[in-house]
Structure 1
């Protein structure tokens, strides 16, 4: 496994070692001991989520004020641009974002720690995203940042407006939202 730091030091890109031959491939998508040793992240994952979306669908940017969730994100079909935004007011990186292309082909994973909003946009015809979380979903504590917040100026690599859920259409600017300390 190879671990790469990003421009936001707490957000990591993880690339598993893939063993392949003419029959196909094998890799460990998660090994707790190796994950802890290589990342220094000591967390217990409590929930696995799986979503399927069509091209141009944008999900996010979501975070929770309570039951904050760390997420280990990967793509098992297609390709997405995965985004993490620091929403910890006391952080020197508050309001900064980082993005990475995750795909079934490159098998990269993104570790998005607690204190970050998370979202992605589908770049391929469709994509399936699976991710582990360190706490349970708490809808009452969830907040949603507008995908097009001008203060964040995220480059979503879109050629046309994204397809959003009703919830994501109601997203607010980061400066209008409660954030983490």
Structure 2
């Protein structure tokens, strides 16, 4: 399996885009919690070794990489709330989180590399979509790490307030234990009411 590299960013630099931000989101599939996005502008002279798609790394490795990124890169993480997910839809909410993450960078980027095949509406800066970007671009891989760690922390915190759903380990994804708890314990304020398994419990006959 090939690992992400800096080719896309270098090509953008050659075209005059000096600050290139990788953008990724995590948390589209869960039944509970926010959707979280991160934007990262790497320092070409201080790119941590071992950057990869967050799903291919251990929690310990992700944490070590994030600490290096926070030392040398411009990192911003943002969320879209459960209310925003239910109001818009999960895709639009994930794009809202991406825009917020980009707006949170210390300095505005010249170009955003967006993981996936769609560019968020209203982005307000040049952008390119990169399908499977977290496997191709080091900047997007870095964003995937920052987003996952931050969202996992949010879900761990929520798990302390709402025990029994297993959010500290399933991060709100629809595991069997989470589905069982939803039926047995009910729907919390942090559940996405527009998602079918939650909606069905709320409005069952």
* TM bucket normalised to smaller: under 0.3
**Considering only CA atoms, is the larger Rg found in Structure 1 or Structure 2?**
2
Q: Please, what TM-score do these two structures have when normalized by structure 2? A: 0.25
Structure with the higher fraction of residues in strand conformation: 1
